[in-house]
């Protein structure tokens, strides 16, 4: 019986081989039936190939929640394509290239097509393999259009790009003017954590047989936080619009202890692996606004993230080139602190809680990423590439195109100010205002010296002092640098800063 089926399989493959003229390669961040090479798929003559490469799961300390999400989404996507009558090969191989070789060994030496890859590395690899590219339309801005914008600018200020995007895409613009009377409602947003506030329930996603098989392969018990199908991703979008959109703006920068998601959309994993298209996410938001279900400051805030920040970061990744990832403009050489890989390796309540959240579900929102994790790396002088590597491994939504600019440019200011005009350095006062961690912490955000001094407060001043020569020339930083002169205890602070860095390096602070 088994042998007869084997022969049939061989025969079937031979027939398919004769009919197939193109290999359409789908990387795990292009899981969208209506985008990239799948847009003009001919089911009679094309075979779709996905490669689950061993390199993807091994070699680095990847968060298993992340691997689970990426692999299970890809396996579901392959099954959905098959169920709709499309010829699909889901190949497990050592590397992507080995997988494509396998596809060619089955179907012959056919041309391979793929959407423009999302990192320099895979771009180079696939180009060398002879792959032909079509536009990566999972972004709203073509690379050449972003380059044209960037080349026309003296400085690459996101706000300018965002306003141009609003006009170009005709989103929340009336007669060339911003809807609601302003381009930006930051003054109404960015509120501290609310008191006695009831956050909506989290949306949980059920697991099916494919999920369970992936979990078994990874020897991991996944959360139910992340969907692994398009249906689940759409449910997340709908849930966000219904329960979170209206409250998104005011509390987008707040961090609370009793809710890890607040009003954030939790859409980045799906926008980044293709299960959601940014255009459909923005349309859903705008529709809700037009129906009067959400206020302008929230709608503008989320639109800014998707058509502004996300597109800007991707554009800058390609514009700034491959070498940008290796920048270390502040010559930061401290090895990665143990607290990043182990939430109990610190007594700092904010850092420990945020790292624990990442251990639990591979995600925290932008303020913990920027003002707690990156801020700590920045002011301790942690090596940017070591920090970047950790961030890449730890987050559910990480890819080169998005992590490199966010970390190197925005997070740790390693690019000398190409992307951001000033570093996002802050002491305990900011964290105390915007989060609820300080009340339960052994350290005091107001103190900069002494055993109870908040490490952020101490290190913030130490950081400014270490880089005062560079920063005093920056008009957005000079006030802060002059503030150093008012410190009567700078010598004592420098001693404490050195103790803090040694203690953090040993996991004892
Ligand atoms: C140091 C640092 C590292 C980051 N690394 C990543 C990353 O690896 N992957 C990632 O998708 N985002 C990254 N971000 C941006 C942002 O933190 C996440 O997109 C967001 O937290 C995802 O959660 P959400 O979907 O609920 O986002 P929301 O707050 O609901 O925002 C909506 C969407 O806007 C987009 N967006 C907002 N800001 C950015 C940004 N700076 N860059 C790119 N997209 C943005 C995302 O697609 C996000 O889903 C990083 C930010 C910082 C400061
Ligand atoms: S006191 Fe400092 S270390 Fe403690 S939670 Fe506040 S900011 Fe973090």
Looking at residue 337, which CATH number applies to its domain? 1.10.579.10
Q: Which residues of the chain have pLDDT under 70?
A: 1-5, 8-17
CA 349 to ligand 2 center in whole angstroms: 6
**One domain for residues 73 and 96:** yes
Closest ligand 2 atom to Cα of 457: 2
Query: What's the N-to-C CA distance of the chain in angstroms?
Result: 66
Q: 4: helix, coil or strand? A: helix
**One domain for residues 425 and 467:** yes
CA 183 to ligand 2 center in whole angstroms: 34
Q: Which of 134, 164, 192 is the last residue of a domain?
A: 134
Return all residues near 94 (Cβ < 8 A) that are at least 6 apart: 53, 54, 55
Residue 134 CB neighbour total at 10 angstroms = 16
Q: Is 428 in the pocket of ligand 2 (CB under 6 A)?
A: yes
Q: What is the pTM of this model?
A: 0.95
**One domain for residues 92 and 214:** no
8 Å CB contact between 490 and 461:
yes
What pLDDT shows up at residue 2? 39
**One domain for residues 103 and 201:** no
Q: How far is CA 202 from the centre of its chain?
A: 20
Which ligand minimizes its atom distance to the CA of 455? 2
Q: Is 377 in the pocket of ligand 1 (CB under 6 A)?
A: no
Which ligand minimizes its atom distance to the CA of 263? 1
Which ligand minimizes its atom distance to the CA of 414? 1
Give me the DSSP letters along 241-275: IIIIHHHHTTTTT---SS-SSTT----HHHHHHSS
**One domain for residues 275 and 404:** no
**One domain for residues 436 and 485:** yes
Q: Is 459 in the pocket of ligand 2 (CB under 6 A)?
A: no
Count of the separate structural domains present in the chain: 3
Distance CA 402, CA 317 (A): 7
Which ligand minimizes its atom distance to the CA of 434? 2
Domain that holds residue 415: 326-505
Q: Which of 274, 293, 320 is the last residue of a domain?
A: 320
Mutate to test the pocket of ligand 1, among 268, 284, 300 (most ligand atoms within 8 A of CB): 268
Return all residues near 71 (Cβ < 8 A) that are at least 6 apart: 28, 52, 56, 57, 214, 217, 218
Q: Which of 100, 134, 168 is the last residue of a domain?
A: 134
Q: Whose CA is nearest to atom 45 of ligand 1?
A: 310
**One domain for residues 164 and 229:** yes
**One domain for residues 151 and 72:** no
**One domain for residues 307 and 365:** no
**One domain for residues 9 and 53:** yes
What pLDDT shows up at residue 8? 67
Mutate to test the pocket of ligand 1, among 397, 400, 423 (most ligand atoms within 8 A of CB): 397
CA 367 to ligand 1 center in whole angstroms: 10
What pLDDT shows up at residue 1? 37
**One domain for residues 335 and 258:** no
Looking at residue 95, which CATH number applies to its domain? 3.40.50.620
Looking at residue 201, which CATH number applies to its domain? 1.25.40.80
**One domain for residues 50 and 77:** yes
Q: Is 266 in the pocket of ligand 1 (CB under 6 A)?
A: yes
What pLDDT shows up at residue 187? 85
Closest ligand 2 atom to Cα of 349: 5
CA 212 to ligand 2 center in whole angstroms: 39
């Amino acid at each position: 019986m088994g042998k007869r089926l084997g022969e049939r399989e061989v025969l079937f493959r031979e027939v398919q081989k004769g009919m197939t003229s193109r290999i359409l390669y789908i990387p795990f961040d292009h899981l969208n039936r209506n985008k990239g090479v799948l847009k003009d798929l001919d089911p009679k003559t094309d075979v779709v190939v996905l490669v689950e490469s061993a390199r993807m799961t091994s070699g680095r300390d990847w968060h298993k929640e992340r691997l689970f999400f990426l692999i299970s989404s890809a396996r579901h996507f392959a099954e959905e394509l098959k169920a709709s009558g499309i010829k699909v090969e889901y190949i497990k191989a050592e590397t992507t290239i080995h997988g494509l070789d396998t596809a060619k060994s089955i179907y012959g030496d056919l041309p391979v097509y793929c959407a423009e890859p999302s990192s320099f590395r895979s771009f180079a690899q696939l180009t060398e393999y002879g792959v032909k590219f079509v536009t990566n339309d999972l972004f709203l801005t073509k690379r050449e259009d972003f380059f044209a914008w960037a080349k026309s600018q003296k400085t690459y200020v996101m706000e300018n790009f965002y306003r141009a995007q609003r006009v170009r895409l005709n989103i929340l613009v009336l007669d060339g003017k911003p809807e609601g009377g302003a381009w930006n409602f930051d003054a109404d947003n960015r509120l501290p954590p609310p008191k006695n506030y009831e956050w909506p329930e989290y949306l949980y996603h059920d697991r099916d047989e494919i999920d369970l098989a992936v979990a078994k392969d990874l020897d991991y018990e996944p959360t139910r936080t992340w969907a692994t199908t398009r249906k689940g991703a759409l449910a997340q979008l709908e849930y966000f619009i219904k329960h979170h959109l209206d409250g998104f703006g005011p509390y987008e920068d707040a961090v609370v202890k009793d809710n890890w998601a607040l009003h954030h959309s939790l859409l980045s994993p799906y926008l980044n692996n293709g299960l959601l298209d940014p255009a459909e996410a923005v349309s859903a938001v705008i529709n809700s606004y037009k129906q009067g279900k959400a206020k302008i400051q929230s709608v503008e805030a989320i639109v800014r993230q998707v058509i502004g920040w996300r597109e800007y970061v991707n554009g800058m990744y390609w514009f700034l080139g491959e070498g940008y990832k290796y920048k270390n403009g502040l010559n930061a050489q401290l090895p990665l602190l143990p607290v990043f890989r182990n939430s109990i390796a610190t007594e700092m309540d904010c850092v420990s809680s945020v790292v624990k959240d990442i251990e639990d579900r591979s995600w925290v929102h932008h303020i913990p990423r920027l003002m707690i994790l990156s801020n700590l790396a920045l002011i301790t002088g942690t090596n940017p590439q070591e920090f970047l590597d950790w961030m890449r491994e730890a987050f559910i939504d990480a890819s080169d195109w998005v992590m490199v600019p966010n970390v190197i440019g925005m997070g740790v200011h390693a690019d000398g100010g190409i992307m951001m005009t000033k570093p996002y350095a802050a002491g305990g006062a900011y964290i105390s205002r915007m989060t609820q961690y300080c009340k339960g912490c052994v350290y005091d955000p107001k103190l900069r010296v002494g055993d109870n001094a908040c490490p952020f407060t101490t290190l913030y001043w130490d950081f400014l002092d270490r880089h005062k020569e560079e920063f005093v020339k920056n008009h957005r930083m000079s006030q802060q640098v002059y503030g150093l002169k008012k410190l009567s205890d700078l010598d004592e602070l420098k001693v404490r800063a050195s103790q803090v860095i040694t203690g953090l390096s040993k996991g004892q602070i």
